[in-house]
Each structure stands twice: as C-alpha cells, then as structure tokens.
Amino acid sequence: MKPTVFIAAGTALLGAVVLHQGGYFSSPVTLPNAAQTGDTQSPQDGYSKPIAVAQNGKTDAAPDGERSPPAASSRKVDETALRYFASKGDTKRLNAEIARLKALYPDWTPPDNPLAVRQQGDPQLDQMWKLYSAGKLAELRKAIADRQTAEANWQPPADLLERLAVAEAREQLVNASNLKQYDAVIRVGSTNPSLLTCGDVDVLWRVAEAFANTKREDRAKDAYLYILNNCKKPEERYATVQKALPLLSRQNLDLLLATEQKTPDGKGEFAALRGDIARQSVANADADPKLSIPDIDIATVEGLAKEGGLASDDLLLGWYYVRRDKPQVAETWFRKARDKENTAKSSQGLALALINQNRPAEAEDILHQWRDTDDDTRKVYLAAVANLLAVTPPPPLTPDVLQRMVQEVYAAKDSASAQQLGWYADALNQPQTAAQWFKLALDWKPDDEPSAYGLALTRWKIGDKAGVKDIQTAWAGRSERIPTVGERSIETAALGKRKTGKAAPVDTSEEDAPVQRRPANQDEASQDEPSQAKASQDGTAAPRAGKAGRTRQVVRGCSTTIDPASLSPEAALSRGWCLMQVNRPVEAAAAFEVALRGSGKTRTDAAYGQSLAYLRAGLTDRAAVAASQAPLDSDRSIEIRTALLETQANTAFDQGRYTETILSLDERARIAPERTGLMVLRGYAYLKLRRFADAEQVFRAAAATGNHDALRGLNDVKAARQSNFQ
C-alpha cells in the first residue's frame, strides 16, 4: 500500500482543485468544466457550484464537513497531524500540512513551536497516524474501533476518518482497475470525489481508462482534459497524453494536445509524443482500411522509419499501404522490416504484398517457414499456394516446393488450393491426379461448383463415365456447365450439315460439348451458321460462340440496309439479333453499338450481342472489348470467354505459335470442357512442339470417342516419331 499522507500534502502543494461534494460526479455522471480553475460557473455541465481552490472534498460518510472557508474563530483547528509530523521531524509533511491548514482556515496561524504542546500529545492517536502513514488501514480501523469501545467519550478526529475512507477507496479503486472491473472503478470514483485531484493523478488515469473501456470516450476525454488543465507536474502531463493515445479518437486527442505548454527551451511539452501520435494514427488506419488519416501522420511515420530504424515503424507503413491497394510501396516497407528481423508478421505482410502483385512464387517461398504461426499467416500462405498454382502457364515447381505446398494443403484442408492443384495436375496432363485433388477439394467444401466441375471433367478424361454421371446427378440444377461434360454437341451436329466447302463427315458419335448457354428469351435468335471455321487439319469446325442450335427462326425486318443510329436502343438491339441470324456480323456489331446506349437489360444484351458479332466477324480483340462494355451474367461471361479463348487458340495455331495454343486451350479448359475437336487441336499443337508423348496421350483420349481426326492424329504422331529415327 502506498503512503497515503501525501494526498493532502499534494493537494495543498500543487494548488490542486478538489471538487465540491456532489459536484464532480453528480448523476448522470459528468465531469466539471474542463476550463481553467477558478471560481467560474460551468453551466454546460449542469454543474452549478463554484470550484473552490485547495478545499478538502468531503465524503458522504463524514457528517461534519465544511463547504467553504468557515468562520475561523468558531472552530478549533485540528492540529494533531501537524504535531505528529513535527514530532517525527518530518519537515516536508509538516510544511505541507501547514499550507493545507492555512488554505482551509485563512485566519489560522501556525503555532510557533509545534513541539511545545507535545505533553498534551495523545500517544494512541500518534500511533493511529503512524498506522495511517504506513498504509495499514485495516489495522487503523481496528485501533479506532477498539478505542471507541474502551473509551465511550472518545471521538476519532474527523480528519483522520476522512483520510482513512479516501485511502481505502483508493485501494479498492486501484484493485478493481487492475482487474478491469471498470464499472466498479467508476462507482468508487464517483462516490469518493476527493480522490479525483491532482494529488492522485494515477486515480484519474484509471477512471479515464474505465470510461474509455465502457464506451464513454467523451467522459474519458473530460478526465484527461481535467488533468491537463489543472495539474502541473510535467511528467504527469506527458504521461496523461501517452495514456490517452490508444484510447481516444484523433479528434479528442487533438483537444488534449491543444493544452500543450512550452517547456523552458521553447519546445512544446508533448513534442516527443508527436511521433507516437502519428504512429497510433497509422496503426488505427491499418486496422480500418476505410479510415482516412492526415497525410502528415504518414509522412511523420515515414520520416521516423527512415531515421530511426525501427522495424515496427516499417511494419506500420507496410500494412497501411497493402490495405490500400499499393502493394509495391508496401513491399518496400515490409522488406525493410524483414531485413532487420525476419518475423512471422513481416513475412506475412511481404507475402501479401507480393501476392497482390501477382508474384505468388516469391510469396510462398517467403512465408513457408512461418505458415504455422497462426490462422492468419496460414491463410495468407494458402492464398500464395492457390495463386501460384493458378499461374498460366503452369509454373515449374521444384519437388521440394510442391511437396511442402501439398503438405500444407492437406493439413489445412484448404479447398481452394486443392482445386488449384487439380487444375495444375490437369494442365500437366495428369487427369488421374487431378481428379483426386478435385475430389478432396469437394470433400472439404461440398458446395464448391468449380471443384465439382473439375472433377466431372477429369473423370471424363480418364473414362470414368459412371463417376461423371454421379457428379452430374448431384449437381443437377446447380450448375450450367457440369451437365454438359461429355455431352454431344447439338450445334456441331447442325454444323456438319451446313458446312460450306468442307466435306468433313458429321460424326454423330462425337462427344462434343455445346456451348453452355441457352438463350434466355426467344428474341435472341439462335445462330446456326458458323462462318469460316478456323479449323485444324481435320474438318471439324471450331465454331464461333453461338447458342445451341435451335430451329431456324424466320428472318424478318432486317433485309434492308439502314443506319442503325436512327433507331432507339431497343430497336437497334432487335435489329442486331436479326442481322446475326442472316450472318451479317459487321452490320450487327454496328447495330449493337447503338443498342449499347440503352440501359439495363438492353445494354447487357447489346454487349453480349456485339461481342458475338465481332467473334463471328473474326475481330477477336474487338469482341473482348465489347464483352467488357457491360456486366454479363456468369453464363454469358463463360460463353464469351470460352469463345475468345478458342479463337485465340485457333489463331495462335494458324500463326505457328503452338505454345500459345496450348496455353489458350488450358485456360479455356478451366472454364469449359474441352471438346474432342479442341483436343485434336491440342494434339497437333503438341505434335508441332515435338511433345510426342503428350500428343499421343491426347489423341488417344480423343480417339476413344471414335473421332476420326484423332485417329489420324495418332498416325501422324507415329509417323513423326519414326521420321526421327531416320
């Protein structure tokens, strides 16, 4: 227990303001006017009594309290404490006590020789004061009660009782505060207003903290402001701002800072805290990406980081930037921190910054050692893994790295990464492995459609028709594309009939997947006429994106040529579809362009229509642009993307860029099943790249469906191999 006699001494010495009973925490709990001390009224707090200087606050318990400087003559001043301190030679406390009594009783003069009256001293009372000074409050209670029992007429001095009550209240408050019992702190503080003085700044801090932690930030601010407006000790003022830092909003903090006084050397007393203030500000912004903070705070912390060399400052900035989509800047700061000390946090931040710059391999490498630190780190690590596996072309991964990634995916049961491992294996032509991964991903997240799609696809590739059926049954109605895995292409069948200049037979046993989408309404005419197919060596057309073939609609209303600009967007839209039907894609595109001026459905339909038109016309780049003009629903989006990728693959092949062909096909295969026709294209691309084994594998799989072009491809592989040896 702390020596408690300082309280009264401090009160007088510092000229502190002790607040009137009932003034400090009248209900509802308010604080006094936070202005300078004085006799001013503070009406805004509903606090009507003047604040008197250096006055002893009275607790409820003491019935003989006085409120204002009394008529001195009528009251005997209690000099027991005075004489006690004198007898102990405690000059400091003696002087403090004299000052206190003079403040209380202006007409009182101190005795010339306090020791002189020692004979009348009360040794028992002295003993009591001794207990009080030593902080033995419970024993003091006993001493008082025992004496009251023994001497019926003895009254303990009111002063002693008061101080005892206040000291006990302080003990209770501090204990409750240490246990974070904030309501108890506020209750004890409010029933003992004389605790709340500059002589007891620690109590005021605890009360402020209790307010802050019970959602009463304004009361906390008032408490801190009270200290700054009334208390003089520099170190206490400084500590007050320090303590307020993490608890108050920046706005309230600025109110505290406004009380800053100048030190003798002309600087502000809180100057050294500015750095911490800026740090706290950035820390708040780290926690809340929506929070905007003054630029000066960021600049301050950047300055501190550059000069001071604290990794924690680097981290503050790293998190700030990474949370605000500036991963490059963030990376610099995280690297600085990490160079100083490689920790989980700095690695996690750096990995995040790298992931957001599409550098997942580096992220994985950096974060791997820290992945087990906590859930957050693990999440980031797995994100790096998933992103790394999703890179196209499939990145070369050393066995070590792959091994450790696989281990982590297993341990964490992370569905997203498992799915990516599936695609990765698939891209490396290992459909069996891929299927296993897709299965795991689905086990871990049963409602994940992409994993289910991947599983269906790879099962189909390895010939597990029953397995494909299982998935399709389970996902009936929940996915557009899963039912189409392995399905005959109606469109291709229709294609075969209409192909111009090509005598390729239509193989009805072909297993082709049609385009996924079915027209949403009848206005969107079905397109059944492909233009020049950029096919591979066989005759199977790689049709442009279109819809599943339907009965041909009667062509109406667009056989003439008009300027679509004269039409309303809705009319232009209709005209566009009509023109697509009669295979005038360039004009259709122009009509859709006008329709794009419309809104809502008209606009989205126009974007879709225009991209189809450009695709038909062979203007792939424009098709991509058109598709981005308005948001497309996911089915259409898939349709367009698959069509674009298919076109890309074909174009690449025609131009002799075989690796690109493979890449485009790979990308397409992630969002739509690869029809046999495309598998044949792939096979020939492998063949051109002299990847005989891969070519053979693909042709073999395609040939299993009876596709003649695939069979031909197998022969071509054989021939190419033989020619190698000649």
* Footprint of another protein (CB under 8 A): 61, 136-139, 141-146, 148-149, 168, 171-172, 175-176, 178-179, 181-184, 187
Residue 600 gets the label, from left (phi > 0), alpha (psi -120 to 50) or beta, of left
d(CA 101, CA 166): 18
Burial class of 717 by CB neighbour count within 10 A (0 to 12, 13 to 18, 19+)? buried
- Min dist CB 457 to another protein, Å, is 47
Burial class of 549 by CB neighbour count within 10 A (0 to 12, 13 to 18, 19+)? buried
d(CA 534, CA 542): 6
How many whole angstroms from its chain centre is CA 297? 21
Question: Quick one: which of 543, 550, 680 has its CA closest to 618?
Answer: 543
d(CA 17, CA 712): 101
- CA angle at 154 for the pair 148 and 157, rounded to the nearest 5°: 100
Let me know: does 171 contact 183? Beta carbons within 8 Å: no
- Min dist CB 161 to another protein, Å, is 11
- Min dist CB 194 to another protein, Å, is 16
d(CA 677, CA 543): 10
Question: Quick one: which of 81, 89, 72 has its CA closest to 12?
Answer: 81
- Min dist CB 140 to another protein, Å, is 8
- Min dist CB 143 to another protein, Å, is 7
d(CA 200, CA 349): 43
Question: Quick one: which of 492, 600, 471, 501 has its CA closest to 542?
Answer: 492
Coil, strand or helix: which one is 30? coil
Cis peptide before 157 (omega within 30 of 0): no
d(CA 402, CA 428): 14
How many whole angstroms from its chain centre is CA 237? 35
- Min dist CB 81 to another protein, Å, is 21
Question: Quick one: which of 517, 548, 543, 521 has its CA closest to 532?
Answer: 543
Give the count of beta carbons closer than 10 Å to the beta carbon of residue 459.
Answer: 25
d(CA 698, CA 682): 7
- Min dist CB 167 to another protein, Å, is 9
Place of tokens 């009394």: 70
- Min dist CB 126 to another protein, Å, is 18
